[in-house]
């Protein structure tokens, strides 16, 4: 799959593409990333990409024309139409199910806004999807785009050291959308705290039940909405309901 990223700061993406386990996805071109700078498509000697907002107010607004010309170039290089994603506070909150869908597709063009925002006419004419990482504001869309690319890259075959790793992630349907359980490693005792005895028992069924109960308890405490969603979907067993009842 291929992601074309429109950004005024392409240099920010270098560490993402060359560091950590996800670099395997980028180096192998399982997830190809091509960077485009709208300043290269701006007019005039100063290659201006922003201007003051009509109606007054603070900040600057990104011009529609350089963005549109840059998008045209990216789509021409792709050779086919593609979704155009803008990272925006008004976008749909990104969830695991959406990441899985994007990870199995052909990619998209990602638009990283800056300053006070982007001329609405470009958004209305060219953007097909808007995505938000949450109820907060960043200085630009680059961090959101990198989070999006990282989430997609780690789901590609062979990227993680253990193919089962992402299956146990929080929000994964394989865990019925619950949060993940606590994890422990050596030493057995640290800072006066011991590893839970069941994890040292060697009884795999008991260990799995403990982990399931921990996932239920943590999700009930931190994200009760996920418990209700799992319940509505019929994903909770009688044993699950009994474990939840003990926590109430």
Phi-psi region of 110 (alpha: psi -120 to 50; beta: other; left: phi over 0): beta
Catalytic: which of 126, 154, 211, 215?
Answer: 154
CA distance 154 to 227: 26
Catalytic: which of 27, 43, 51, 89?
Answer: 89
208 a catalytic residue: no
CA distance 20 to 110: 22
Residue among 72, 106, 74, 112 at smallest CA distance from 91? 112
Coil, strand or helix at 184: coil
Catalytic: which of 100, 116, 150, 180?
Answer: 116
Residue entry with tokens 């405490």: 221
**Residue 215 tokens, joined:** 């996932």
Coil, strand or helix at 218: helix
Residue among 168, 169, 181, 164 at smallest CA distance from 217? 181
150 a catalytic residue: no
209 a catalytic residue: no
Task: Report the DSSP beta bridge partners of residue 51.
Answer: 61
89 a catalytic residue: yes
Catalytic: which of 100, 150, 169, 180?
Answer: 169
Burial label for 197, CB within 10 Å (0-12, 13-18, 19+), is exposed
Q: Residues with catalytic annotation?
A: 89, 116, 154, 169
């Amino acid at each position: 799959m291929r992601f074309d990223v429109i950004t005024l700061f392409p240099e920010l993406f270098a560490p993402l593409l060359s560091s950590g386990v996800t670099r395997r996805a980028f180096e192998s071109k399982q997830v190809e990333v091509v960077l485009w700078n709208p300043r290269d498509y701006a007019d005039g000697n100063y290659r201006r990409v922003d201007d003051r907002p009509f109606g007054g107010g603070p900040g600057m607004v990104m011009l529609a024309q350089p963005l549109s010309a840059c998008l045209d170039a990216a789509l021409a290089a792709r050779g086919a139409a593609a979704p155009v994603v803008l990272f925006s506070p008004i976008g749909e909150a990104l969830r695991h199910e959406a990441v899985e869908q994007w990870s199995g597709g052909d990619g998209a063009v990602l638009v990283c806004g800056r300053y006070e925002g982007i001329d609405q006419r470009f958004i209305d004419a060219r953007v097909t999807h808007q995505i938000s990482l949450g109820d907060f504001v960043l200085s630009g869309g680059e961090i959101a785009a990198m989070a999006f690319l990282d989430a997609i890259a780690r789901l590609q075959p062979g990227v993680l050291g253990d193919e089962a790793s992402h299956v146990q992630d929080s929000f994964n349907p394989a865990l019925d959308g619950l949060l993940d359980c606590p994890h422990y490693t050596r030493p057995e005792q640290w800072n006066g705290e011991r590893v839970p005895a069941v994890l040292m028992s060697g009884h795999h069924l008991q260990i799995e039940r403990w982990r399931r109960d921990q996932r239920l308890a943590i999700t009930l405490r931190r994200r009760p909405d996920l418990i209700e969603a799992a319940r509505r979907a019929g994903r909770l067993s009688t044993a699950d309901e009994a474990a939840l009842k003990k926590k109430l």
